[in-house]
A and B are shown apart, each in its own frame.
Chain A
Amino acid sequence: MEKSLGRYIWSNTRLQQIWILCVVAVSMIPYFLSFDLPKQIVNGPIQGMGFDAPGATQTFMRIQYDIPYIGNVVFFNGLELTRFQMLMALSLVFLLLVIINGLFKLYINTYKGRLGERMLRRIRFELIDRVLRFPPGQFKRVKSAEIATMIKDEVEPMGGFTGDAFVQPALLGGQALTALVFIIMQNFWLGMIAAAIVAIQGVVIPRMRKRLLELGRQRQLTARELSGRVGEIVDGIGTIHGNDTSNFERADIAARLGLIFSIRYDLYQWKFLVKFINNFLAQVTPFLFYSIGGFLALQGRLDIGQLVAVINAYKDLPGPLKELIDWDQARQDVQVKYAQVVEQFNVERLVDPRIQALMPEAVSRLEHSLQAVNLTLSDDSGAPLLRHVSLEINPSETVAIVGSGGSGAEYLAEAFARLIWPEQGRITIDGKDILELPESVTGRRIGYAASDTYFFHGTLRDNLLYGLKHAPLTKVEYEGKSAAQYKWNINEARRAGNPELDLNSDWVDYASAGVTGPDDLFKVVRPVLDAVLISQDILDMALRSTVNTAAHADLTDRIVELRQALRKRLKKEDLDDLVVPFKLNAYNAQATVGENLLFGSMKRPMMTNRKLAAHPYFRAVLRENDLLIDLYTMGLEIAENAVELFQDLPPDHPFFQQLTFMTADDIPLYQQLLQKLKGHGIEAASSDERTSIIRLSFSYIEPRHRFGLLNDKLMAKIVDARERFHNDLPDDLKAVIERYDPEQFIASASLMDNVLFGRIGFTQADSSERVNTILRDIFDRLDLFESVLSIGMDFDVGSGGKRLTNVQRQKLNVARALLKRADYVIFNRPMPALDQRVQDQITHNIMENLHEEGHAPAIIWVLSNTALANLFDRVIVFDKGTLVEDGTHATLLKKNGIFKELVS
């Protein structure tokens, strides 16, 4: 990158800078005119110069020029105006000039702002582009938070400065010079005084600011280190908690903040000292004007109008001057920052941009062998990891690489994945070094999965298909407003040197996954998910999640069919009582009283239990038929039972898990309530106390809690209240409550609730497992399994995939590598978080079942379980960084070498 910021800005924004300079130059004309006008107004109409006789007139706006060769040309004869008319006319001209000057300022500032923002966009993009091209080793040295700070915060002032880089000195210099020249023209000696003070300011202030710059540089570095440390604390929070080192971290942070404070405090002290001196110098000048100018005026050597104009003009001198000095300060400051950032991003062995060039077309298969030639790898300290390894792996060959940890096997895999760059030797395909092959070949035709997984924040689908998103493959047609917006976006991107790639395009390369489009994607996804044993997890995710009905209409439209299939199936297996269905005119004993009353699903977070309980309509429905009193009595009894059962237990007792309707902290509260309210009617309770009591009844499930509080009459009453509640439901509630309808999909309820349309019988043995098995089977039979998987794919994996378990992440990582259908698939001990048994099962699935339909990649698997080596065509054994044995499983077993030792 360009080392000097000035040159970087000039080379990227030359034309715009010249344009804005021209505009600034033109703006000087009205600016200068507005200086002369006050003098004319004061001396002319106000003091009466030229209006000696009453009724005298003067010519206004006569425009005439002496043009060479043509002679005097009169463009406009002018108007004859009286003294008062003249005053008004000149004042109006003054107003006009103010407006013109203001408009110029507006245009210039907007233009500069835009220029600066484009520049900022360009710098930021360029820096991130460089991060994408850093050699892998670089990432061992930098902290991600520091890079983020540099890109986000440290280059920010550069954007602001860009607009000012050339304009500001020209504009402010011009203004200061204009003012100065004007003063000199009025009175030479007053002008000289002003010039002398300006010179002093110009020399002294920048000197004093040298120290400010140094402090600023330190501030930048310490702030960057701070954000690096904050990032470390966030990433390493587990280690901190696990070792009780939070106070050590606090001490470290406090020390850093102390250092930053001292630097900043020092900075402020200097800044205000400099400001004080600057202000003082600026104020000394008017003092000289008043005293010396006044003296001259008294002597009659200077007319009053001139003195007023000089003082008026001087008002405009310190402003630009101060800003000019500020500009110089900003220039140096930004230059230092820029140099700092560029230094961090000027990395040796940066990946050539051509290697990452966009490649929308399909890449042909790798039909040559993958060769390592005299490959030597070493770590950062220079210790050898792998010594002089030469080997050749043929297309479609399956190779097991075995060796104990640190034997070099895993490093060979990393080198194949280009995560370590060779110290000596090289890895080639068809004679070409893989480091020089474009990533469109290596990134698509070679797949890699190791134990350290990375998932981006987004849905499971985004992450699983991440390995297929190489280029924008569809052209999105925009219409109307969005078309204009798109055009604008593209233009702006071009102007800031950003690529014109459309993120809204479909980036997924379906063809390379072996399908035609998003519709039959699951044809290839499902076998892979089955092979890595994760479909059950994804099914569970789907069942627990609410469904986007617009995106998954294929399933939601068939919900009635699904519900019927489930009922039929349960009936057939004589499991009728496993799921108790919701019926409009019957109480569902397996659901809570609240659910029975509502008979619908609330759209959270717009509607909650609390909000519903407070709603006047809901209260009115309860009050009819004395249901409120029934529920109150019921709540009171629940409270009594709970207090009796739990009052002697310590609050952290595990039995409290069983108490679903209150927490341990509530017990004393209800104890007090009971003392107060027991034996009295509902009238004795305040509104809040009533709510606390009635709330308990809502969570009650008779078969589960077994307090014997529900009888047929009360259940009938609740069903009756349910009907009345839904009959005249006001619109505000209609919008947030979805009534259970056997014919409709309930958008605000989970998929599980939707399919069951009822509650699992609480007392049935192993009910959840049995329901799950049956559901899975039904989805399969109705050809809806893939739709359900697709719903599970909407699961948000969280930051870094942390909402998934480590086991799930490693399985999905393997799945992602398989989905690419690469020609060389490298697995580098990819699933250490899994049980050995499950790992073996998955390895068997991948090696034996997955590649039956023709696509046969070469698989290079660094095994953690040597016993699996018999699944592979060939076995390569590493020990202490060297290749020791290479052959088929059978021959190696016969050899009595290291392999035999490892297997036994």
Chain B
Amino acid sequence: MLLKDEVEMLRRVPLFSGVAPAKLKLLAFTSDRVSYKAGQTLFRQGDPADAAYVILTGAADILSDTPSGEIKVAEIEHDSIVGEIAILCDVSRTATVRANSALEALRISKDHFLKLLSDYPEMTIEIMRVLADRLSHTTTELSEARSKQKQAAK
């Protein structure tokens, strides 16, 4: 897969959709292309966060360690970014991500990602928009869950 194809794929990721192609090309060039086999781990819960991953092809499970063992929280597919939260707020990984099929990803290191954000404010705004969107989504889910809980308690 060539740089220009990667740029095309990056444009399909909502986070980057508003960013100029030339900048996406730079982002792609300065990132590492990494391939994983099914079952290989991208990162583990509790590890220090050093990079975000854009899934180019394939899919991965997001897993969370609980006292009762590992449970699958979600699945991500191509054209999505994973691990960006941890590098933004400097916390360790909150979940384990494991490829469930052969997977190709673009590994954007933390320094490069942050540098891009400070260089291109339009990217920062885009990220803010996506995050705010997610937050409102989560808040809605939470309130729904709470109201369900209340109803169940009655």
Which A residues are within 8 Å of any B CB, using their own CB?
Answer: 574, 641, 644-646, 649, 653-655, 658, 703-708, 762-765
Contacting pair B36 A765 (CB below 8 A):
yes
Contacting pair B34 A764 (CB below 8 A):
yes
| Residue from A645, A655, A763 within 8 A of B112 (CB atoms) | A655
Contacting pair B42 A658 (CB below 8 A):
no
Q: State in angstroms the CA–CA spacing of A703 and B35 once bound together.
A: 11
| Residue from A574, A641, A763 within 8 A of B34 (CB atoms) | A763
B153 within 8 A of A: no
- Within B14-40, the residues touching A (CB, 8 Å) are 22, 25-26, 28-30, 32-37, 40
| Residue from B4, B26, B35, B111 within 8 A of A645 (CB atoms) | B26
Closest B-chain residue to A653, C-beta based? B115
B3 within 8 A of A: yes
- Within B37-60, the residues touching A (CB, 8 Å) are 37, 40, 42
Contacting pair A706 B34 (CB below 8 A):
no
Closest A-chain residue to B40, C-beta based? A765
Contacting pair A655 B30 (CB below 8 A):
yes
Q: Would you give the shortest CB distance from A575 to chain B, in whole angstroms?
A: 9
B84 within 8 A of A: no
Which of chain B's residues have a CB closer than 8 A to the CB of A706? 1-3, 6, 28-29, 33
Which of chain A's residues have a CB closer than 8 A to the CB of B111? 654
Q: State in angstroms the CA–CA spacing of A646 and B25 once bound together.
A: 10
Closest B-chain residue to A657, C-beta based? B30
Contacting pair A708 B34 (CB below 8 A):
no
| Residue from A645, A707, A763 within 8 A of B33 (CB atoms) | A763
Closest A-chain residue to B3, C-beta based? A706
Contacting pair A655 B115 (CB below 8 A):
yes
Contacting pair B36 A654 (CB below 8 A):
no
| Residue from B2, B35, B115 within 8 A of A764 (CB atoms) | B35
Most chain B CB inside 10 Å of its own CB: which residue of A658, A708, A765:
A765
Q: State in angstroms the CA–CA spacing of A644 and B30 once bound together.
A: 14
Most chain A CB inside 10 Å of its own CB: which residue of B22, B29, B104:
B29
| Residue from A658, A703, A708 within 8 A of B29 (CB atoms) | A658
Which of chain B's residues have a CB closer than 8 A to the CB of A708? 2-4
| Residue from B26, B42, B112 within 8 A of A765 (CB atoms) | B42
Contacting pair A654 B29 (CB below 8 A):
no
| Residue from B22, B33, B42, B115 within 8 A of A703 (CB atoms) | B33
Q: State in angstroms the CA–CA spacing of A651 and B37 once bound together.
A: 38
Closest A-chain residue to B99, C-beta based? A765
Contacting pair A654 B115 (CB below 8 A):
yes
Contacting pair A707 B2 (CB below 8 A):
yes
Q: State in angstroms the CA–CA spacing of A705 and B4 once bound together.
A: 11
Pairs of residues from A and B, 7 with the lowest C-beta to C-beta distance, nearest first: A708-B2, A706-B3, A658-B30, A765-B34, A655-B30, A763-B35, A763-B33
Which of chain B's residues have a CB closer than 8 A to the CB of A763? 32-35, 104
Q: State in angstroms the CA–CA spacing of A704 and B4 once bound together.
A: 13
If A644-B22, A655-B30, A655-B112 are given as contacts, then 15 extra A-B residue pairs at C-beta distance below 8 Å, sorted by A number, are A645-B22, A645-B25, A645-B26, A646-B26, A649-B26, A653-B115, A703-B33, A706-B29, A707-B3, A708-B4, A762-B33, A763-B33, A763-B35, A764-B34, A764-B35
19 inter-chain pairs at a CB distance below 8 angstroms, sorted by A residue, are A574-B37, A641-B3, A644-B25, A645-B25, A645-B29, A649-B26, A653-B115, A654-B111, A654-B115, A655-B26, A704-B33, A706-B29, A762-B33, A763-B32, A763-B34, A764-B34, A765-B34, A765-B40, A765-B42
Which of chain B's residues have a CB closer than 8 A to the CB of A765? 34-36, 40, 42
Which of chain B's residues have a CB closer than 8 A to the CB of A649? 26
Q: State in angstroms the CA–CA spacing of A705 and B30 once bound together.
A: 9
Closest B-chain residue to A645, C-beta based? B26
Which of chain A's residues have a CB closer than 8 A to the CB of B29? 645, 658, 705-706
Which of chain B's residues have a CB closer than 8 A to the CB of A707? 2-3
Closest B-chain residue to A703, C-beta based? B33
Q: Would you give the shortest CB distance from A578 to chain B, in whole angstroms?
A: 11
Q: State in angstroms the CA–CA spacing of A639 and B40 once bound together.
A: 36
Q: State in angstroms the CA–CA spacing of A765 and B22 once bound together.
A: 27
Q: State in angstroms the CA–CA spacing of A641 and B26 once bound together.
A: 10
Q: State in angstroms the CA–CA spacing of A706 and B9 once bound together.
A: 14
Q: Would you give the shortest CB distance from A226 to chain B, in whole angstroms?
A: 46
Q: State in angstroms the CA–CA spacing of A646 and B40 once bound together.
A: 34
Q: State in angstroms the CA–CA spacing of A706 and B104 once bound together.
A: 14
Closest A-chain residue to B41, C-beta based? A765
Which of chain A's residues have a CB closer than 8 A to the CB of B34? 763-765
Q: State in angstroms the CA–CA spacing of A703 and B3 once bound together.
A: 10
Q: State in angstroms the CA–CA spacing of A653 and B114 once bound together.
A: 12
Q: Would you give the shortest CB distance from A646 to chain B, in whole angstroms?
A: 8
Most chain B CB inside 10 Å of its own CB: which residue of A644, A645, A649, A705:
A645
Q: State in angstroms the CA–CA spacing of A645 and B35 once bound together.
A: 24
Which of chain B's residues have a CB closer than 8 A to the CB of A655? 26, 30, 112, 115
Q: State in angstroms the CA–CA spacing of A645 and B25 once bound together.
A: 7
Q: State in angstroms the CA–CA spacing of A706 and B35 once bound together.
A: 14
Which of chain B's residues have a CB closer than 8 A to the CB of A646? 26
Q: State in angstroms the CA–CA spacing of A653 and B29 once bound together.
A: 14
Q: State in angstroms the CA–CA spacing of A574 and B37 once bound together.
A: 10
- Within B108-131, the residues touching A (CB, 8 Å) are 111-112, 115
Most chain A CB inside 10 Å of its own CB: which residue of B2, B30, B42, B115:
B30
Which of chain A's residues have a CB closer than 8 A to the CB of B33? 703-704, 706, 762-763
Most chain B CB inside 10 Å of its own CB: which residue of A641, A649, A655, A707:
A655
Q: Would you give the shortest CB distance from B113 to chain A, in whole angstroms?
A: 11
Q: State in angstroms the CA–CA spacing of A763 and B106 once bound together.
A: 10
Per-residue A-contact encoding for B81-94, CB less than 8 Å = 1, 0 else: 00000000000000
Q: Would you give the shortest CB distance from A161 to chain B, in whole angstroms?
A: 65
Which of chain A's residues have a CB closer than 8 A to the CB of B35? 763-765
Which of chain B's residues have a CB closer than 8 A to the CB of A762? 32-33
Q: Would you give the shortest CB distance from B59 to chain A, in whole angstroms?
A: 16
Which of chain B's residues have a CB closer than 8 A to the CB of A641? 3
Closest A-chain residue to B25, C-beta based? A645
Q: State in angstroms the CA–CA spacing of A641 and B42 once bound together.
A: 30
Contacting pair A654 B40 (CB below 8 A):
no
Which of chain A's residues have a CB closer than 8 A to the CB of B42? 765
Q: State in angstroms the CA–CA spacing of A641 and B30 once bound together.
A: 13
Which of chain A's residues have a CB closer than 8 A to the CB of B3? 641, 705-708
Q: Would you give the shortest CB distance from B130 to chain A, in whole angstroms?
A: 23
Q: State in angstroms the CA–CA spacing of A649 and B2 once bound together.
A: 23
Closest B-chain residue to A646, C-beta based? B26
Closest A-chain residue to B26, C-beta based? A645
Q: Would you give the shortest CB distance from A120 to chain B, in whole angstroms?
A: 59
Q: State in angstroms the CA–CA spacing of A646 and B26 once bound together.
A: 8
Q: State in angstroms the CA–CA spacing of A762 and B111 once bound together.
A: 20
Which of chain B's residues have a CB closer than 8 A to the CB of A644? 22, 25
Closest A-chain residue to B28, C-beta based? A706
Which of chain A's residues have a CB closer than 8 A to the CB of B32? 762-763
Which of chain B's residues have a CB closer than 8 A to the CB of A703? 33
Q: State in angstroms the CA–CA spacing of A641 and B7 once bound together.
A: 14
Q: Would you give the shortest CB distance from A671 to chain B, in whole angstroms?
A: 16
Q: State in angstroms the CA–CA spacing of A706 and B31 once bound together.
A: 11
Q: Would you give the shortest CB distance from B120 to chain A, in whole angstroms?
A: 11
Q: Would you give the shortest CB distance from A696 to chain B, in whole angstroms?
A: 15
Q: State in angstroms the CA–CA spacing of A285 and B29 once bound together.
A: 91
Q: Would you give the shortest CB distance from B8 to chain A, in whole angstroms?
A: 13
Q: Would you give the shortest CB distance from B102 to chain A, in whole angstroms?
A: 11
Q: Would you give the shortest CB distance from B108 to chain A, in whole angstroms?
A: 11
Q: State in angstroms the CA–CA spacing of A644 and B20 once bound together.
A: 13
Q: State in angstroms the CA–CA spacing of A123 and B127 once bound together.
A: 77
Which of chain A's residues have a CB closer than 8 A to the CB of B37? 574
Q: State in angstroms the CA–CA spacing of A322 and B4 once bound together.
A: 89
Q: State in angstroms the CA–CA spacing of A764 and B40 once bound together.
A: 11
Which of chain B's residues have a CB closer than 8 A to the CB of A658? 29-30
Q: Would you give the shortest CB distance from B153 to chain A, in whole angstroms?
A: 45
Q: Would you give the shortest CB distance from B40 to chain A, in whole angstroms?
A: 6
Closest A-chain residue to B116, C-beta based? A655
Q: State in angstroms the CA–CA spacing of A574 and B39 once bound together.
A: 13
Q: State in angstroms the CA–CA spacing of A764 and B4 once bound together.
A: 21
Q: State in angstroms the CA–CA spacing of A767 and B26 once bound together.
A: 24
Which of chain B's residues have a CB closer than 8 A to the CB of A574? 37
